[in-house]
Amino acid sequence: MIVSKPAARSLLTICSLLAAGAAAAADLPARHPIVLHAARLFDVASGRVIAPGEILIDGDRISAVGVTVQRPPGSEVIDLGQTTLMPGLIDAHVHLFLHPGAEDLQTVKESVPERTLLAALAAKSDLLGGFTAERDMGTEGAGSADTAVRNAIDAGLILGPRLRISGNAVDILGGHEDATTFNPAQHVLSNADYANGPAELIATIREQHKEGSDFVKIYETGHDRLDGGMFHTPYQYTADELKVAVDEAARLGTVVAVHANGEPGTLYAARAGVASIDHATQLSDETMALMKQKHIPAVPTFTVFQYFAEHASTPAEAAREQALMEYKKREFKREIAAGIPFAVGSDVGPFPHGTQARELVLMVEYGMSPLAVLQADLLNGAKLLGWEGQIGELKPGFAADIIAVPGNPLDDIHAVEHVQFVMKGGAIALNREATP
């Protein structure tokens, strides 16, 4: 039998997934108690680091936390050396169905089955990078295929983070992710689901919910440009239209998150009461006041902006991307000064999965303290994903989603880029030898 190159690649991918699934099944939460010991333990709510630190895990839950914990008979003790134990990281803005080169034709050339297999591998990479929970912000044309990935992870068939998924994002005809630059006669599909006006928004949200979505992702602005130092990005839905979407999502027990880079779209989103404003490059004083009042976090996504600036195809494109990045950094300082809430999301997909801890580093580099960024990631992230009181802290009764990083992340936030140990729900996904 002759196997084509694409088929061979698919077979190799399937074999990789089967191996990952076997690993996941082989390392289910231990029936015996586990005690993790390390030089330090990070209490995210108080902002304190205690030394040493220990955690007792019973099944998929944390049973006790402290300088020392009781070690029941038969406990397995894992000494992680000169590391800091902390909750698993949370990425509030990922794209599992994208990979580097996301601005090319991959959503046109690659089939949905192929993209689903790659998404499963991306989920594993993110978990091994220390991210035990994520919010997937749109499959970019793969419909509700993320439902299958989430369900396979939940069933223990493949390795990956806890997931909140949106299916396709929602867009207007000719909007941000529509195929506007192609020959119309080819009928290239949009990377999002069309919804023009309130009735279509409601119908689309209901269809996505039926197919398994956990929340709604809407494109509210785009395309973006800087003109004479002024930022411009057209809005797609009015505040009243967005409120229809927010109300329908609430009826279904969920929320709306928006891709919104600037005014007036960001203001319309805040007025409508969305769950988060993602990218948030430009926010007016009125918008920020509403975000503070309604506790709507901004999710800056610096890493993808930096990646595009560093991987531009031409010098002119690089200059445009770098100018946009510099504008975004200046505006971020205004947002910090205004006291709006933040969550941490990287927009990983266009750059390699598993490397997105860079987002925390950049947020510190551009003006936040390490503690503020970690609290934004873990406390605000858990709330944004709807798992407040279940993940994001090392407390008895919380899910045993735990990582270990070298050194002290409050002293050097780069520690989160060098995860040594990952446990999700009491199952060990990664255990590198700790650096002394």
User: How does pLDDT run across 257-313, given as a tens digit for each residue?
Assistant: 999 999 999 999 999 999 999 999 999 999 999 999 999 999 999 999 999 999 998
Tell me the mean pLDDT in the region 360-386.
98
CATH number of the domain encompassing residue 281: 3.20.20.140
Give the integer Cα–Cα distance in Å for 122 and 115. Answer: 10
Strands (E), 24-111: 34-38, 40-43, 48-50, 53-58, 61-66, 76-79, 83-87, 89-94
Is pLDDT at 103 greater than 80 in this prediction? no
Find the helix packing angle between 302-310 and 358-365, rounded to 10°. Answer: 90
Q: Indicate the residue type of 43.
A: D
**Domain assignment of residue 377, yes or no:** yes
**Domain assignment of residue 405, yes or no:** yes
Number of residues that make up the chain: 436
**Pair 82, 101 in one domain:** no
**Pair 403, 259 in one domain:** no
Give the distance from CA 361 to its chain's centroid.
15
**Pair 114, 134 in one domain:** yes
Output 244 or 5, whichever has higher pLDDT.
244
Is pLDDT at 210 greater than 60 in this prediction? yes
**Which range among 34-48, 101-115, 126-140, 336-350 shows the weakest confidence by mean pLDDT?**
101-115
CATH number of the domain encompassing residue 75: 2.30.40.10
Please report the pLDDT score of residue 428 as a whole number. Answer: 97
Q: Is 156 strand, coil or helix?
A: coil
Q: Which residues pair with 91 in a beta bridge?
A: 134
**Pair 137, 270 in one domain:** yes
Find the helix packing angle between 239-251 and 265-272, rounded to 10°. Answer: 40
Q: Is 277 strand, coil or helix?
A: strand
Q: Which domain holds residue 76?
A: 34-88+392-431
Tell me the mean pLDDT in the region 323-332.
97
State which H helix or E strand residue 240 sits in: helix 239-251
Give the rounded percent of residues in the chain with a pLDDT score beyond 90. 86
Please report the pLDDT score of residue 187 as a whole number. Answer: 87
**Domain assignment of residue 287, yes or no:** yes
Is pLDDT at 436 greater than 50 in this prediction? no
Tell me: the pLDDT tens digits for 14-48? Answer: 445 545 554 544 455 557 999 999 999 999 999 99
Q: How many domains does the chain have?
A: 2
Tell me the mean pLDDT in the region 86-115.
91
**Domain assignment of residue 17, yes or no:** no
Please report the pLDDT score of residue 154 as a whole number. Answer: 98
Tell me: the pLDDT tens digits for 395-418? Answer: 999 999 999 999 999 999 999 999
**Pair 280, 401 in one domain:** no
User: DSSP letter string over 351-371?
Assistant: S-TT-TTHHHHHHHHTT--HH
Query: Per the structure block, which two tokens stand in for 310?
Result: 């560093």
| Category of 49 on φ-ψ map: left (φ > 0), alpha (ψ -120 to 50) or beta | beta
**Domain assignment of residue 6, yes or no:** no
Residue 223: CB atoms within 10 Å = 11
**Pair 342, 252 in one domain:** yes
**Pair 49, 97 in one domain:** no
Please report the pLDDT score of residue 101 as a whole number. Answer: 78
Is pLDDT at 352 greater than 60 in this prediction? yes
Q: Indicate the residue type of 212.
A: G
Give the integer Cα–Cα distance in Å for 135 and 157. Answer: 20
**Pair 221, 272 in one domain:** yes
**Domain assignment of residue 77, yes or no:** yes
| Category of 416 on φ-ψ map: left (φ > 0), alpha (ψ -120 to 50) or beta | alpha
Query: Per the structure block, which two tokens stand in for 342?
Result: 């933040």
**Domain assignment of residue 20, yes or no:** no
**Pair 178, 220 in one domain:** yes
**Pair 265, 283 in one domain:** yes
**Pair 235, 209 in one domain:** yes
Query: Per the structure block, which two tokens stand in for 182?
Result: 């192609």
Position 61 confidence tier, pLDDT thresholds 50, 70, 90: very high
Position 160 confidence tier, pLDDT thresholds 50, 70, 90: very high
**Pair 174, 60 in one domain:** no
Give the rounded percent of residues in the chain with a pLDDT score beyond 70. 92
**Domain assignment of residue 270, yes or no:** yes
Taken in order 295, 254, 141, 23, the sign of the CA dihedral is positive
Please report the pLDDT score of residue 237 as a whole number. Answer: 98
